[in-house]
Chain A
Amino acid sequence: MSAAGAVPEPGLAGLDARPAIAAGMRLQWEAAQDAHVLLYPEGMVKLNPSAGAIMSRCDGQRTVADIVADIERTYDLSGLATDVRAFVALALQRGWLEQAT
């Protein structure tokens, strides 16, 4: 079921968190939609390029700090930490990501 309605502000994920795609979900590239999609039993979330870049790096090994650095390096950008941390926190809240243990 899709997340909807008033939810508390998710805040920022910690830089040392190691997020992973949540159990039972699958992230994959869909050529037909020209996008990364997140698949789960009741549906699908089509990710925009930024979300796809973050989610595709959430392997339970890399920390949020690693992911920020990798994206900044790959796309020749800087100052993305806050945006990435906010997105990871949101994805954790929605159950798309989980903290690797």
Chain B
Amino acid sequence: MTAPSPASSVATGPPPQGAPEAGAAPEKSPAVGPPLWLLLELTYRCPLHCVFCYNPTDMPRTGAELGTAEWLRVLREARAAGAVQLGLSGGEPLVREDLEELVREAHGLGFYINLITSGVGLTEARIATLKAAGLDHIQLSFQDSTRQMNDFLSSTRTFELKSQVAGLIRAHGYPMVLNVVLHRLNIDHVGEILRMAERMGAQYVELANTQYYGWAWLNRAQLLPTREQLQRAEAVTQAFRERVGARMKIYFVVPDYFETRPKACMNGLGSVFLAVAPDGTAMPCHAARMLPGLNLPSVRTASIRNIWYDSPAFNRFRGEGWMKEPCRSCPERGRDFGGCRCQAYLLTGDPDNADPVCELSPHHGQVVAAVAASAAAAAATGGGTERPLIFRDHRVSIDITAGPAGGGA
């Protein structure tokens, strides 16, 4: 063996962070690695009705949920194909009564298991069983720090329950990890949110600005913060960081509408990430269901290995052959892979276009206009909303995929 060196480790962070440089030659797909990161959206059922949910707005039209035996098969096949990080999400995954059984199997297979939950349904008995079954990590989502705002935004009375759940998570030896989705209606509360997180003993807090897909896309005009709100929130966050030091790590994810370069979405579709929807639809990103003509494969009829390596849907955006200008000749294409395909589709009608967050995109004006409209709306309503929000609900199911902005379906 060679002498150890600090340069010896290679970080291959799954989405959303840490895009490794893709040293691939243009027009040539690099060798396809394994689907390292598996996300199972076990159900679309959820006790909450969040306005910023990225779940599809036509969810009742999707098929029946996979049964226990089918999820177990997906776990085995994905692990055999090299998957190692497992996210269990939804909807609310605690709604599934077989969650403990799935965790037990996944742990036996060697997955690192992260439960992404609102906490609703997490009792002392369930967390104890999940811990014994091998659950590695819990990420608790929080809507806001004030009960009124929390209950309004999630449309239920869950604040006290979440505080109790945070206590349970700590008591069972898990790091206390909070995820708070920010938007125009709560971003001014970021100081209170951070103080609440501190009281709960949070070690990690992710302040994630809303990404505009699904229900959030429908509510974008009411949710997009203004630039001034964003700057204030970042300043508050920075001051808080300086006060708490290493006790609490705070990640502030800036909404990409305020950026001039796109995010390296999923490190490129089909590179490390594989999501499975409740009905078994396999997707190269959680929102890919909206993309036209993708013909997403199903785990009901194809193996994970076949889906990952051979399906047209997972090969569709690999490499650079699909890119259009300005991405095609851009020196940064290996860094951001052209950004988000879903955002390109929603904003330009063509998923092969550059993500219009990029200022080099000829459609960047759409993003600028959305930010300007947000500022105007906030000014007109004193920071509130002029249109009613559309709460995520099975009874209020809307097909937005038929007519995105710019219409290209």
Which residue numbers of A lie inside 8 Å of B, CB to CB? Answer: 1-3, 23-24, 26, 28, 30, 32-33, 37-51, 53-54, 71, 75, 77, 80, 83-84, 86-87, 90
Let me know if B36 and A44 touch, CB within 8 A.
Answer: yes
- Docked complex Cα distance between A32 and B34 (Å): 8
Task: Across the interface, name the chain B residue whose C-beta is closest to A10.
Answer: B6
B86 closest partner in A (C-beta): A39
Given contacts A23-B175, A87-B4, A87-B5, contact A2 B11 (CB under 8 A): yes
- Is there contact, CB below 8 Å, between A2 and B1? no
Besides A44-B112, A80-B3, A83-B5, 17 other CB < 8 A contacts? Answer: A1-B13, A3-B11, A26-B136, A39-B136, A41-B136, A42-B13, A42-B17, A45-B11, A47-B9, A48-B8, A48-B9, A49-B2, A50-B1, A53-B1, A71-B1, A86-B6, A87-B5
- Known contacts A24-B136, A28-B110, A32-B82; is-contact A46 B34 (Cβ 8 Å): no
Can you offer 5 A-B residue contacts whose CB atoms are under 8 A? A41-B112, A44-B112, A49-B2, A50-B2, A71-B1
The answer to whether B82 and A30 have CB atoms under 8 Å apart is yes
Q: What mask results when residues 91 to 113 of chain B are scored 1 for a CB within 8 Å of chain A, else 0?
A: 00000000000000000001010
Report the nearest A residue to B136, measured CB to CB: A26
Closest residue of A by beta carbon distance from B11 = A2
Identity of the chain A residue whose Cβ is nearest the Cβ of B1 in the assembled complex: A75
With A41-B177, A44-B13, A45-B10 already in contact, the answer to whether A30 and B4 are too (CB < 8 A) is no
B48 within 8 A of A: no
Out of B3, B4, B12, B81, name the residue touching A44 (CB < 8 Å). B12
CB distance from A10 to the nearest CB of B (A): 8
Q: How far is the CB of A83 from chain B (nearest CB, A)?
A: 5
**Is B4 touching A39 in the complex (CB atoms < 8 A)?**
no
Interface positions of B from 1 to 55, Cβ below 8 Å from A: 1-6, 8-14, 17-18, 34, 36
Task: Contact check, A47 vs B8: say whether CB atoms are below 8 A apart.
Answer: yes
The interface of chain B, by Cβ under 8 A from chain A, is 1-6, 8-14, 17-18, 34, 36, 81-82, 84-85, 110, 112, 114, 136-137, 139, 173-175, 177, 251
- Which chain B residue has the least Cβ–Cβ distance from A96? B9
Is B9 within 8 A of A51, CB to CB?
yes
Enumerate chain A residues within 8 angstroms of B137, measured Cβ to Cβ.
24, 41
Nearest-CB distance from B309 to chain A (Å)?
13
Are B6 and A43 neighbours in the complex by a CB distance under 8 Å?
A: no
Main secondary structure of the interface of B (DSSP, over half): loop
Q: Is A77 in contact with B9, judged by CB distance below 8 angstroms?
A: no
From B8, B13, B14, B139, A51 is in contact (CB under 8 Å) with B8
Measured CA separation A75–B14 after assembly (Å): 33
Q: Compute how far the CA of A86 lies from the CA of B175 in the bound complex, rounded to whole angstroms.
A: 27
Bound-state Cα–Cα, A65 to B311, Å: 51
Instruction: Please pick, from B2, B18, B112, the residue contacting A2 in the complex, using a CB distance under 8 A.
Output: B18
Given A24-B136, A86-B6, decide whether A46 and B12 contact each other with a Cβ distance below 8 A: yes
**Distance in angstroms between the alpha carbons of A32 and B81 in the assembled complex:** 8
Question: CB-CB < 8 A to B177: which residues of A?
Answer: 41
Contact assessment for B14 and A24 in the assembled complex, using a CB-CB cutoff below 8 Å: no
**Residues of chain B lying within 8 A (CB to CB) of residue A23:** 173, 175
Q: Assess whether B4 is in contact with A50, with CB atoms less than 8 Å apart.
A: yes
Which residues on the A side are within 8 Å of B8 (C-beta)? 47-48, 50-51, 87
User: Of all chain B residues, which has the CB nearest A48?
Assistant: B8
Known: A26-B136, A48-B9. A37 touches B84 (CB 8 A): yes
Cα A83 to Cα B6 in complex, Å, equals 9
Chain B residue contacts of A49, Cβ below 8 A: 1-2
- A87, B4: Cα distance in complex, Å: 7
- What is the bound-complex CA distance between A51 and B11, given in angstroms? 13
Known: A54-B4, A75-B1, A77-B1. A43 touches B14 (CB 8 A): yes
